[in-house]
Amino acid sequence: MSQKRIKVLIAKLGLDGHDRGAKVVARALKDAGMEVVYTGLRQTPEQIVKAAIQEDVDVIGISILSGAHLELIPLLIKEMREKGLNDVVLVVGGVIPPQDIPKLKEMGVDEVFLPGSSLKEISEKIIRAVESKRGIKVAT
Protein backbone atom coordinates (compact mmCIF):
# COMPACT_ATOMS: atom_id res chain seq x y z
CA MET A 1 0.00 0.00 0.00
CA SER A 2 2.81 2.39 0.79
CA GLN A 3 6.49 2.47 0.02
CA LYS A 4 9.02 1.90 2.79
CA ARG A 5 10.36 5.04 4.41
CA ILE A 6 13.81 5.02 5.96
CA LYS A 7 13.54 4.80 9.74
CA VAL A 8 16.45 6.22 11.70
CA LEU A 9 17.34 6.21 15.38
CA ILE A 10 19.34 9.25 16.46
CA ALA A 11 21.00 9.08 19.86
CA LYS A 12 23.88 10.46 21.84
CA LEU A 13 26.29 7.81 23.07
CA GLY A 14 28.05 8.16 26.41
CA LEU A 15 28.63 11.06 28.74
CA ASP A 16 28.13 14.01 26.46
CA GLY A 17 25.55 16.67 27.18
CA HIS A 18 25.45 18.54 23.87
CA ASP A 19 22.68 17.53 21.52
CA ARG A 20 22.11 20.52 19.26
CA GLY A 21 23.95 18.86 16.37
CA ALA A 22 22.02 15.62 16.83
CA LYS A 23 18.73 17.53 16.77
CA VAL A 24 19.71 19.51 13.66
CA VAL A 25 20.61 16.30 11.83
CA ALA A 26 17.44 14.54 13.04
CA ARG A 27 15.38 17.39 11.74
CA ALA A 28 17.19 17.45 8.39
CA LEU A 29 16.52 13.74 7.95
CA LYS A 30 12.85 14.37 8.70
CA ASP A 31 12.87 17.04 5.99
CA ALA A 32 14.49 14.51 3.65
CA GLY A 33 11.43 12.30 4.16
CA MET A 34 12.79 9.91 6.78
CA GLU A 35 11.03 8.79 9.96
CA VAL A 36 13.35 9.69 12.79
CA VAL A 37 13.14 8.36 16.33
CA TYR A 38 15.10 10.64 18.63
CA THR A 39 16.13 9.19 21.99
CA GLY A 40 18.39 11.92 23.26
CA LEU A 41 21.29 12.26 25.63
CA ARG A 42 23.62 9.99 27.58
CA GLN A 43 22.68 6.62 26.19
CA THR A 44 24.48 3.35 26.80
CA PRO A 45 25.14 0.95 23.90
CA GLU A 46 22.62 -1.39 25.50
CA GLN A 47 19.89 1.29 25.53
CA ILE A 48 20.58 2.33 21.94
CA VAL A 49 20.51 -1.21 20.59
CA LYS A 50 17.34 -2.04 22.54
CA ALA A 51 15.50 0.94 21.05
CA ALA A 52 16.88 0.16 17.58
CA ILE A 53 15.54 -3.40 17.83
CA GLN A 54 12.06 -2.47 19.03
CA GLU A 55 11.72 0.33 16.48
CA ASP A 56 13.15 -1.86 13.68
CA VAL A 57 15.21 1.01 12.32
CA ASP A 58 17.22 0.89 9.11
CA VAL A 59 19.85 3.26 10.45
CA ILE A 60 21.45 4.06 13.80
CA GLY A 61 22.90 7.58 13.84
CA ILE A 62 25.25 8.33 16.71
CA SER A 63 26.34 11.79 17.69
CA ILE A 64 29.45 11.95 19.80
CA LEU A 65 31.42 15.00 20.84
CA SER A 66 33.19 13.68 23.90
CA GLY A 67 36.25 12.21 22.18
CA ALA A 68 35.44 8.74 23.48
CA HIS A 69 34.38 7.39 20.07
CA LEU A 70 37.22 4.85 19.79
CA GLU A 71 36.22 3.41 23.16
CA LEU A 72 32.43 3.54 22.87
CA ILE A 73 31.73 2.73 19.21
CA PRO A 74 33.29 -0.77 19.47
CA LEU A 75 31.03 -1.49 22.46
CA LEU A 76 28.02 -0.39 20.43
CA ILE A 77 29.03 -2.52 17.42
CA LYS A 78 29.61 -5.53 19.69
CA GLU A 79 26.13 -5.10 21.16
CA MET A 80 24.58 -4.68 17.69
CA ARG A 81 26.21 -7.89 16.45
CA GLU A 82 25.28 -9.86 19.55
CA LYS A 83 21.64 -8.85 19.14
CA GLY A 84 21.55 -9.62 15.42
CA LEU A 85 21.52 -6.10 13.96
CA ASN A 86 23.99 -7.01 11.22
CA ASP A 87 22.08 -5.34 8.41
CA VAL A 88 21.47 -2.04 10.19
CA VAL A 89 23.44 0.94 8.87
CA LEU A 90 25.61 2.69 11.47
CA VAL A 91 26.64 6.30 10.93
CA VAL A 92 28.61 8.46 13.35
CA GLY A 93 28.86 12.21 13.45
CA GLY A 94 30.54 14.73 15.68
CA VAL A 95 34.00 15.85 16.62
CA ILE A 96 36.10 13.04 15.16
CA PRO A 97 39.78 13.56 14.26
CA PRO A 98 40.17 12.69 10.54
CA GLN A 99 42.83 10.07 11.32
CA ASP A 100 40.23 8.11 13.31
CA ILE A 101 37.86 7.73 10.35
CA PRO A 102 39.61 4.67 8.83
CA LYS A 103 39.68 3.06 12.26
CA LEU A 104 35.94 3.59 12.73
CA LYS A 105 35.18 2.26 9.26
CA GLU A 106 37.32 -0.79 9.92
CA MET A 107 35.29 -1.45 13.07
CA GLY A 108 32.11 -1.47 10.97
CA VAL A 109 30.88 2.13 10.87
CA ASP A 110 29.32 2.79 7.46
CA GLU A 111 29.73 6.56 7.29
CA VAL A 112 31.42 9.23 9.40
CA PHE A 113 30.27 12.83 9.22
CA LEU A 114 32.53 15.62 10.44
CA PRO A 115 31.58 19.19 11.36
CA GLY A 116 30.93 21.04 8.11
CA SER A 117 29.21 18.10 6.40
CA SER A 118 26.22 19.41 4.52
CA LEU A 119 22.82 18.11 5.57
CA LYS A 120 22.17 17.15 1.95
CA GLU A 121 25.33 15.07 1.85
CA ILE A 122 24.35 13.32 5.11
CA SER A 123 20.89 12.35 3.91
CA GLU A 124 22.12 11.25 0.45
CA LYS A 125 24.85 9.06 1.92
CA ILE A 126 22.38 7.52 4.36
CA ILE A 127 19.96 6.69 1.54
CA ARG A 128 22.73 5.05 -0.47
CA ALA A 129 23.98 3.07 2.53
CA VAL A 130 20.46 1.84 3.31
CA GLU A 131 19.87 0.77 -0.28
CA SER A 132 23.07 -1.24 -0.44
CA LYS A 133 23.04 -2.71 3.08
CA ARG A 134 19.32 -3.34 3.55
CA GLY A 135 18.62 -4.18 -0.08
CA ILE A 136 15.49 -2.05 -0.25
CA LYS A 137 14.38 0.69 -2.57
CA VAL A 138 13.25 3.53 -0.37
CA ALA A 139 10.72 6.32 -0.58
CA THR A 140 11.93 9.81 0.22
In the complex, which residues of this chain contact another protein (CB under 8 A)? 1-2, 4-5, 26-27, 29-40, 43, 46-47, 50-51, 53-56, 83-85, 139
Q: First CA to last CA across the chain, in angstroms?
A: 15
Of residues 82 and 106, the one with the C-beta less far from another protein: 82
Of residues 24 and 114, the one with the C-beta less far from another protein: 24
Of residues 105 and 120, the one with the C-beta less far from another protein: 120
Work out how close the CB of 68 gets to another protein at its nearest, in angstroms, rounded to a whole number. Answer: 19
Work out how close the CB of 98 gets to another protein at its nearest, in angstroms, rounded to a whole number. Answer: 30
Chain CA centroid to CA 22, Å: 10
Rounded to whole angstroms, how far apart are CA atoms 51 and 70?
22
Of residues 101 and 119, the one with the C-beta less far from another protein: 119
Work out how close the CB of 38 gets to another protein at its nearest, in angstroms, rounded to a whole number. Answer: 5
Work out how close the CB of 60 gets to another protein at its nearest, in angstroms, rounded to a whole number. Answer: 14
What value, to the nearest 5°, has the Cα angle with vertex 27 and ends 95 and 36? Answer: 100
Q: Give start and end residues of each alpha helix (H) in 35-115.
A: 45-55, 69-82, 101-107
Rounded to whole angstroms, how far apart are CA atoms 47 and 140?
28
